Amino acid sequence: MSRTQAVRDKESQPVPSANFKALIESSSRSSNSRLILSLDLDFRNEVKDLVHDAKQLIRDTSDYICAVKFNFHLIAPLSLQDLRSINDLISDYHLPSIADIKLNDIDNTNRVATEYLWKAGFSAVIVNPFVGYEGALDVVLTRAKKLGKGIIVLVYMSHRGAQEGYGLVLKDGRTLFDLFLDRATQWRVDGIIVGSTRPEKIHAARGRVGEEIKIFSPGSGAQGGDPLKSLEAGSDYLIIGRSIVESENPKEEANRLFRSLLPWTKTH
């Protein structure tokens, strides 16, 4: 049964687990998909158009994805009610949602910000490990675990200049990339972000964090990353935005990507 059919008959499927990792794994298995739709919507003069277009993208692609990610430039102009409305639709399709705000502040600010995100219906949040644990991300991790929410740590971005930051060498010989992998392991987070444009970094991360921590890889398509190479290197989930969102037919493009990866997905 497709997700679209399931929404028409909500009693046809059980209520999904509240635990983020279990939810996305279940979603991925049921759809045979490792694709996460990133709602990379460009500027709109009217907020109502953002909400409408975001919902239409979710409806069009729901059968081919396993989760939805909101970029900061979509979250910023929307109200909590708008975000909740979109997340309610995502939940109807039994999909988790991820808030990509790269959270990076002191504990009180982080705590308040994430409480609003949880209230808006998000399943997980992406955080920046640079800020550290004590007095910063400790309260977020503790609260998320109690609520069954997911914490995903930003480890290596997908843009061309990523090496300028994540490749910086510390006094002990490690790079920031190495440090962030160590923090992700120590903090027992749910996932890490490693860009699809760096399959060698994905491979290195897989060897360091094991199988329990999931690897989420943005950067395929518009930024030049190869989705299949990313999966082969060790990615668990591919975050794809503009190549779907900006295509003439997002549904067909999502279906094309889904089918191109299906032989790999079915055997792994």
Catalytic residue positions?
102
State the Cα–Cα distance between residues 40 and 222, nearest whole angstrom.
11
Residue 79 · residue 48 · CB < 8 Å: no
Report the 3 state secondary structure along the chain. CCHHHHHHCHHHCCCCCCCHHHHHHHHHHHHCCCEEEEECCCCCCCHHHHHHHHHHHHHHHHHHCCEEEEEHHHHCCCCHHHHHHHHHHHHHCCCCEEEEEEECCCHHHHHHHHHHHHHCCCCEEEECHHHCHHHHHHHHHHHHHHHCCEEEEEEECCCCCHHHHHCCECCCCCEHHHHHHHHHHHHCCCEEEECCCCHHHHHHHHHHHCCCCEEEEECECCCCECHHHHHHHCCCEEEECHHHHCCCCHHHHHHHHHHHHHHHHHCC
Question: Is residue 96 within 8 Å of 150, Cβ to Cβ?
Answer: yes
| Greatest distance between any 2 Cα atoms in the chain | 58
Please calculate the CA angle 184-209-35 and round it to the nearest 5 degrees.
90
